[in-house]
Amino acid sequence: MVGLESTLEQAETAKKVKKPEVAEAERERQDKFLAQLRARKPVKVKTAKPVKAKAKAKPKKGKRMARASKGETYYCTVCGCEVLCTTDSESPIVCCDEVMYVF
């Protein structure tokens, strides 16, 4: 049990915190500095301007597509993206989680 006793003694000594001695003049200087900091008014920090939401594209006239046809131009009513279809497809073209319209 010699190892256990020495470990307990080391744990007890580790719990004791030694505070370094500070000269009286240094302590007064620190107290004045802290009092000056506490008396100061809070500083206003510039924040970023709020981001404006993008305006949705104006809906254009057209019909909703059932499937993509070669040579057709399609547009998205959400973001305004236009796509030219190069091949025929059985499924519609989707943009912004919505089916695109024929231009």
CB-based contact 88:69 (threshold 8 Å): yes
pTM for the model stands at 0.36
- Separation between Cα atoms, residue 103 and residue 95, nearest integer Å: 14
For the beta carbon of residue 51, count every other beta carbon within 10 angstroms.
6
Residue 65 pLDDT > 70, yes or no? Answer: no
Per-residue pLDDT tens for 11-54? 777 777 667 777 888 889 888 888 888 887 776 767 777 777 77
